[in-house]
Chains A and B, each alone.
Chain A
Amino acid sequence: MPRRDDIHSVLIIGAGPIIIGQACEFDYSGTQACKALKEEGYRVVLVNSNPATIMTDPEFADRTYIEPVTPEAVEKIIIRELAELKKIGTDGKLVLLPTLGGQTGLNTAMELFRTGVLEKHGVEMIGAKADAIERGEDRERFKELMLEIGLDVPVSGIAHNMDDAWAIADRIGKFPLIIRPAYTLGGTGGGIAYNRDEYEELTKKGINLSPVNEILVEESLIGWKEYEMEVMRDKADNCVIICSIENFDPMGVHTGDSITVAPIQTLTDKEYQIMRDASFAIIRAVGVETGGSNIQFSVNPDNGRMIVIEMNPRVSRSSALASKATGFPIAKIAAKLAVGYTLDEIPNDITRETPASFEPTIDYVVTKIPRFAFEKFQQADPTLNTQMKSVGEAMAIGRTFKESLQKCLRSMEIGRAGLGGDGKGWRVGDTVYGDRDILPRDLITQKLTTPNAERVFYLRHALRAGLTVDEIFELSKIDRWFLTQIQQIVDCEEELASVGASA
């Protein structure tokens, strides 16, 4: 299918100022999209209030608005640009590509849709339509949709009294359970119950606090394995997986704060293919017509039960990683798909001879490690949870996981040469331990149990303190495959140390 000739100008909304959770990754995708669309001869109109982005450099768009990324400002820009098109004397349309500017860009576009601005001015959204974005972003609708297409979601139920609540607890069958009262401000009164007593207490409190005396009880997935799939779809309904990702940190830590590894390491082909089929079923059911989506899954390590966590119907943080990890430029291809091309019509950037309608297969391992700056945010709680706290990340490629992990730790600019053994000390509060000191066991236990920025280093401390892989797994739920790889690095350190000592 050829590119669309009815389009004259494409409006791209950038991500605005940098905040935690939305930084240069969306400049990366937006810049790629600008380049790809210009290459196709479209006029590119860009809105972004952040001048420290590459996309706002003069050569990337035909017209750049350094204006607030708000619905009001964007509406004014739309009016101005439509007048511009009239002046140029073209019949071509102005369209809006909302999926490449992160959540801010997407929210702004959706706001313009909901308030009727897009309809009023006849501006079409390309890439993903508003109803698809809604289906992907609205948690309840998404969950219902998943059940409709036969996929699995956390077991849950709504309770108005203790009898309901016990029935739900029985149906789920195990603790911990998550309690969320309905319509309380900021979810006040919710929590996690680890046993019957806590459950009864939280349930009663939640029902009382809720103005409609209602709570949602949901099974907890904390400690389950977490996976991500980067999917692309074109308008001929060809779907491909660009990259599969396994999180080193299990469920409970935001993916942006997790160490992540590509490709998936611990699923058999049968299990991987089920996840692949599910990814395609999801992008089709949600209705993202063209472009990329990121879909997150959780897998029970004991029986393989696979749960759909969420989908981002847009280019996401992981897309930049997946692009660099595989050489498949997701944002660039997404932009071309949005204007009508199909995957087999776009050449593969790496081979130049074969088409983009393939699934990258790699002969290396990619590791990404988040970078934190808690020293700059003294009041912030350094415990990692479902709210993203990292301020950056580093990625490394190695022929083995061990190589990529060590390389990535060296890339973090935190002064370490890897997991340890580099002669540098370890600061814990006011105490400084030597590089090869054995740290106190209660400190190690605590650092393994509660996710934190240094946890990966405490895996080394734990192994050197004599904890076994199984003991560390029980505390951290980090997969034994990863733990054994770290064990091998520690073994190597010990071997080198003993050679050094005897020399």
Chain B
Amino acid sequence: MAILALEDGSVFHGKGFGASATSCGEVCFNTSMTGYQEILTDPSYKGQIVTMTYPEIGNYGVNPEDIESYQPHVSGFVVRELSPVVSNWRSSESLDAYLKVNGIPGIEGIDTRALTKKLRVRGALNGVISTENLSDEEARQQAADWPGMVGADYAKVVTHKEAFAWEEHEQPNEEFTLPQGADSSPAPPPLPPADIPIVAFDFGIKYNILRCLRRHGFKVQVVPATTTAEEVLSYQPAGLFLSNGPGDPAALDYAVRNVKELVDHGLPTFGICLGHQVLGQALGAKTFKLKFGHRGANQPVKDLESGQIEITSQNHGFAVDDNDLPDEVQVDRINLNDQTVEGLKHRSKPIFSVQYHPEASPGPHDSQPLFQRFRDMVAKV
């Protein structure tokens, strides 16, 4: 038997899978119907127990290509039904085996819809997941005692400890493509030369962001979250990228200071998700915790300038407050579901950021042109 207990005292019993372990985290839900492997390995989920609202999970197993970082980061994984079989030509192992090897507990067979409804009414709740025969009482106690996400600096935990050049990493950068028949044109275009050097702050960066940057001709130096502005400038970058990442953006005062210095120095800057929140703060905005975050692959975002709508992949529990924005900062994208800020741009400097994930993985590719926008912006300076 496995157990999931929440800080409000509710308890769910199910069947355990993955590792034999107990861990605490903020319980949140993701509404993507595909892409669990990318979600598990997205460092932004550090400290969270993720529930998938789509009930049939594990159907296509896991494979070596669909990872988004060096390891899975979730504290626990909650599904309605774990597939007993894997059916996909790319699969190398089952989800169960993958979580076991990586020490992550999973629970299946619980009413994930009831759990999601609770989280939607109450907001994200602290909880504990255990596959080790924890009693209800012990579980409730651990959930209640867990300190929570507010003020937590997980970026420091998940960031790479040393700076490295993405070029030297072993990950392939070409776009993922399928085999084609003899009558069709052969797929992926060759990579362009990497001719623009930039520095990417790693607050918990996803590999697909780095792949997208590389595909747009950027030579990327990845640096740890705590890197100083002076160190960043020592690489003589033509642009600055601020990555996604986990936890409370308000805890990253050091990063906000460094980014402010670099922005003031005039570096063209592009931020995604946590990077957008850090940039927002560096430009003088504030962030707040959403009641329940945006986690899924179907969030409609409107570009206020073109009127165009992008269906976006999102994963954030905090947002930039559009009240008291400094005059030089403009909201250029909003979420059509709740009107919250999805994009910022500086009125006079080459700076912009988005709250969502243009690199997708998982999710729609609608927002990929943002990487070209960054390229054009840096090339112009």
Residue from the list B32, B56, B178, B365 in contact with A271, Cβ < 8 A: B178
In the complex where A273-B365, A276-B364, A304-B89 touch, is A363 in contact with B113 (Cβ < 8 A)?
A: yes
Q: Which residues of A contact B302 (CB under 8 A)?
A: 344, 357
By beta carbon, the residue of chain A nearest B360 is A273
By beta carbon, the residue of chain A nearest B310 is A238
CB distance from A14 to the nearest CB of B (A): 32
| Residues 48-61 of chain B, each 1 if its beta carbon lies under 8 Å from chain A, else 0 | 00000111100110
Judge if A172 is at the interface, Cβ distance under 8 Å: yes
Judge if B66 is at the interface, Cβ distance under 8 Å: yes
By beta carbon, the residue of chain B nearest A274 is B178
Verify A484–B178 contact, CB threshold 8 A.
Answer: no
Q: What interface size band does chain A fall in?
A: 35 or more
Verify A399–B59 contact, CB threshold 8 A.
Answer: no
Judge if A230 is at the interface, Cβ distance under 8 Å: no
In the complex where A236-B308, A361-B297, A365-B56 touch, is A156 in contact with B183 (Cβ < 8 A)?
A: yes
In the complex where A219-B181, A399-B80 touch, is A361 in contact with B34 (Cβ < 8 A)?
A: no
Judge if B25 is at the interface, Cβ distance under 8 Å: no
Judge if A58 is at the interface, Cβ distance under 8 Å: no
By beta carbon, the residue of chain B nearest A398 is B55
Residue from the list A265, A277, A343, A354 in contact with B56, Cβ < 8 A: A265
Judge if B142 is at the interface, Cβ distance under 8 Å: no
Q: Which residues of B contact A306 (CB under 8 A)?
A: 178
Verify A151–B184 contact, CB threshold 8 A.
Answer: yes
Verify A267–B55 contact, CB threshold 8 A.
Answer: no
Verify A363–B183 contact, CB threshold 8 A.
Answer: no
Residue from the list B34, B296, B363 in contact with A268, Cβ < 8 A: B34
Q: Which residues of B contact A359 (CB under 8 A)?
A: 297-298, 311, 364
Q: Which residues of A contact B181 (CB under 8 A)?
A: 152-155, 219, 305, 307
Q: Which residues of A contact B84 (CB under 8 A)?
A: 484, 488
Verify A362–B56 contact, CB threshold 8 A.
Answer: no
Further pairs besides A363-B113, A400-B81: 18, Cβ < 8 Å: A147-B184, A153-B181, A155-B182, A266-B60, A267-B34, A268-B34, A270-B65, A276-B365, A277-B365, A304-B90, A344-B309, A344-B336, A354-B336, A358-B299, A361-B296, A361-B298, A365-B56, A400-B55
What are 28 pairs between A and B in contact, CB < 8 Å? A147-B183, A152-B183, A153-B181, A153-B183, A238-B308, A267-B60, A268-B35, A268-B66, A269-B38, A269-B362, A270-B361, A271-B88, A273-B360, A273-B364, A274-B176, A274-B177, A276-B365, A277-B365, A303-B89, A303-B179, A305-B179, A344-B302, A354-B336, A358-B311, A361-B297, A400-B80, A400-B81, A479-B87
Residues of B participating in the A interface, judged by any CB pair closer than 8 Å: 31-35, 37-38, 53-56, 59-60, 63, 65-66, 80-81, 83-85, 87-90, 112-113, 116, 176-185, 187, 296-300, 302, 307-309, 311, 336-337, 360-365
